[in-house]
Amino acid sequence: RRLLTVITKAQLFVLQDLRPVFEACYDPEEGCLDGTRVELLSEFMQWILNIGDAPNSTGPMYKRILTKNIVWLYGLAGSGKSTVVNTVAMLAEQQGLPVTSFCCKRDKQDSWCSVDRLFLMLAYQISKFNTDYRSIIVNVLRGPKQFKILRGVPDAQIEELFSKAMSQLSAPLLPHVIVIDALDECAGPQAKVIKGLVAIAKAAPWIKILITSRDEDAIREAFREAPSDIYQDININDLQDVHTDIQ
């Protein structure tokens, strides 16, 4: 169930300037097979819903309790990261939670899969759920910073769409979930994406952010510069059920 709010025609007209990319939204048809990744998915849902401890398991990775606002799930190509993120997004929506997503695709780098479009798409989706945020963003897009934001200047997008705008919001009753899949396939400075997501986590601690990618140097280095109280990571290839599930 999507918790979309009522948008006026005037607001929608302005928001269309963000050039939403609906092709980038998560695909519930590309989730995990029934009965696979049960413990990992349960852990993610407890993290999102702030419920208790992680499930009991003899697997070493499941002893880790997810408590930070950002989780980076990394691993080799073909290890199931995308199926996990699609399933987490689907389960969150089934719980009635607002979900914002951007799933990167390498073959779309020349059209929409870029850092600047990612930020615009996040702002567009969040504005569909949060009326206060929408009002702020509409005013921003009518103001003097419009040109830099819409022309894809990442630092301006981070500052105006996330740091300043979200710091004005009150925490809603329900957590909001953001999923970014295959960040390593996104064109542009991927470190800027992490910087932007950290800005969101600082300004809006009620937002839970799940990022997947391969373990690439530029991404890992960007996370090293993030505050340790903001994020934690999981290597999907270390999980005890990964080989069984792939088979």
- Per residue in 195-227, pLDDT tens? 999 999 999 999 999 999 999 999 999 999 999
- pLDDT tier at 239, thresholds 50, 70, 90: confident
* End-to-end C-alpha distance for the chain, whole angstroms: 33
Q: pTM value?
A: 0.90
- pLDDT tier at 241, thresholds 50, 70, 90: low
What integer pLDDT is reported at residue 240 of this predicted model?
62
Q: 211 to each of 92, 95, 171, 240, how far by Cα in Å?
A: 15, 20, 22, 21
86-135 pLDDT tens trace? 999 999 999 999 999 999 999 999 999 999 999 999 999 999 999 999 99
5-59 pLDDT tens trace? 788 999 999 999 999 999 999 999 999 988 889 989 999 999 999 875 545 544 5
User: Hey, what are 118's tokens?
Assistant: 């990612």
